[in-house]
Amino acid sequence: MKNEGIKKGFKILIVIVIVFIVIPITSLAILYSTNRDFKMEANKYLRIIPGPIGNYFNQYPTTAEANDKVFYIAEYYNAISEESAADKLFIVKKDNEELYYQIVQAMNKISPEKTEETIKKVRNIELRKDPLISVYDEIDSEKKDELKEDIKKIESKELLVAKKIILEYYNDQNFQRVNDIFENISTSKTIDLLYYFNEDIYDYILNNLEKSKAIEVNIGLTEKELEYEKLLRQSEIYQVNKVSDTIKEIGNDDNYNLNQLAIIYLNLTIDKAANVLVEIDDDEFQKELFTEMRNIELLNEELDSKIVKLASKIEDIKKYKTKIEDLVKVYQKMDSESLSVIIEDLFKENSKLVVDVLDKMNEKKVAEILSFIDSDTANQISKQLTT
């Protein structure tokens, strides 16, 4: 009976200890660790306990001290750049999320606008830490760099190179890149490129341009068409003009730029263009002109190049001119009566050659030669010489 009474009393004591000591202390410990205000208030009383306990709690700041420190940090973060503040806040948030929100709250009271921008940058840092976001951002950055490089090439390179770059993307059905390029390149470059695209690509690009830019491009393309029509009419005039007069107009770049000259020469007949160009001594001018003419042919995707035929014709004319010069030297030394027989027979076979040779000879010598030739033939030669 006595043992049972002791056991019963012990159980009651345990219950009393648990209810009145353990549970209250546990509850206070949880409250202390989770409630900042309670912790600060408790510290005020715990720090006045003498001995090691008081010394231990003295190391913790009071509520006022903590608030002052938070405000001090908030002021500093608002004073530095948003990027630097975001980097620091990101570290704080990882270590102590409660402190992070206290600092942000204090910063917001000082400068709401800057705090908002700083928080956005913190969010961006958090997103960058996500592997998926990091890979996405890396790819996006690479694509933007590639686009910048394409735009740089298209703006700086010749039209032929620029057109090739765009066609590769279009044929690969990378339409977004095509749209991005034309959204960013200059209006003048857009006009120059669209002028040489086929109807399908032309319509696609024009329909996807921003409205105001599309209007500017349409106006520019109309002006370009009108200029081409004007140059076409000029080429028709130069086609019938004398070579000597035509050379004055299109034998250099005084009246037209190289692109305009190339369009004019491409619309002359090969014979006319060759007879003009063979009289021009400026090799550099001819080289640049031929390059521009060939570029236009390639831009228009013309398979039958006029340049090759034109170059061949010029070479034939040069050989013919050399032949004339050689004959003039020989005939000038011959006896007029003997030469008249050769001239009369040659006129029947190649009247142009005879006229071209006599045209380069001494007038007195020509008169002597004609005096020995049949009057009808002599009259025909004279007429052609004066034409």
Q: What is the mean pLDDT of the chain?
A: 84
CB atoms within 10 A of CB 155: 13
In the predicted model, what is the mean pLDDT of residues 328-357? 90
Tokens 């020995």 belong to 372
- What band does 69 get if pLDDT is binned at 50, 70 and 90? confident
In the predicted model, what is the mean pLDDT of residues 307-332? 92
Residue 42: which residues within 8 A CB-CB, separation 6 or more? 28, 32
Q: What is the 3-state secondary structure (H, E, C) of the chain?
A: CHHHHHHHHHHHHHHHHHHHHHHHHHHHHHHHHHCHHHHHHHHHHHCCCCCHHHHHHHCCCCHHHHHHHHHHHHHHHHHCCHHHHHHHHHHHHHHCHHHHHHHHHHHHHHCHHHHHHHHHHHHHHHHHCCHHHHHHHHHHHHHHHHHHHHHHHHHHCCHHHHHHHHHHHHHCCCHHHHHHHHHHCCHHHHHHHHCCCCHHHHHHHHHHCCHHHHHHHHHHHHHHHHHHHHHHHHHHHHHHCCHHHHHHHHCCCCCCCHHHHHHHHHCCCHHHHHHHHCCCCCHHHHHHHHHHHHHHHHHCCCCCCHHHHHHHHHHHHHHHHHHHHHHHHHHHHCCHHHHHHHHHHHHHHCHHHHHHHHHHCCHHHHHHHHHCCCHHHHHHHHHHHHC
pLDDT score at 385: 85
Q: pTM for this structure? A: 0.60
pLDDT score at 98: 86
Span 180-223, pLDDT tens digits: 999 999 999 999 999 999 999 999 999 999 999 999 999 999 99
Cα dihedral 372/373/379/381 (nearest 10) = -110
pLDDT score at 311: 92
pLDDT score at 135: 60
In the predicted model, what is the mean pLDDT of residues 345-366? 89
- For the cut 90, the answer to whether the pLDDT of residue 20 exceeds it is no
For the stretch 144-150, contacts whose Cβ atoms lie closer than 8 Å and that sit 24 or more positions apart, written own/partner, are 147/177, 147/180, 147/181, 147/184, 150/177, 150/181
pLDDT score at 133: 60
Residue 6: which residues within 8 A CB-CB, separation 6 or more? none
Q: Are 328 and 369 in contact (CB under 8 A)?
A: no
Spatial separation of the C-alpha atoms in residues 277 and 279, rounded to whole Å: 5
Entry field: residues in the chain: 387
Q: Half-sphere exposure (CA, 13 Å, Cβ side) for 244?
A: 0
pLDDT score at 147: 84
The token duo for 313 is 């014709």
pLDDT score at 44: 54
Spatial separation of the C-alpha atoms in residues 240 and 15, rounded to whole Å: 125
In angstroms, how far is CA 108 from the centroid of its own chain? Answer: 43
Residue 332: which residues within 8 A CB-CB, separation 6 or more? 361, 362, 365
Span 106-118, pLDDT tens digits: 899 888 999 899 8
Spatial separation of the C-alpha atoms in residues 19 and 4, rounded to whole Å: 23
Spatial separation of the C-alpha atoms in residues 283 and 305, rounded to whole Å: 21
Higher pLDDT, 126 or 84: 84
In the predicted model, what is the mean pLDDT of residues 255-261? 95
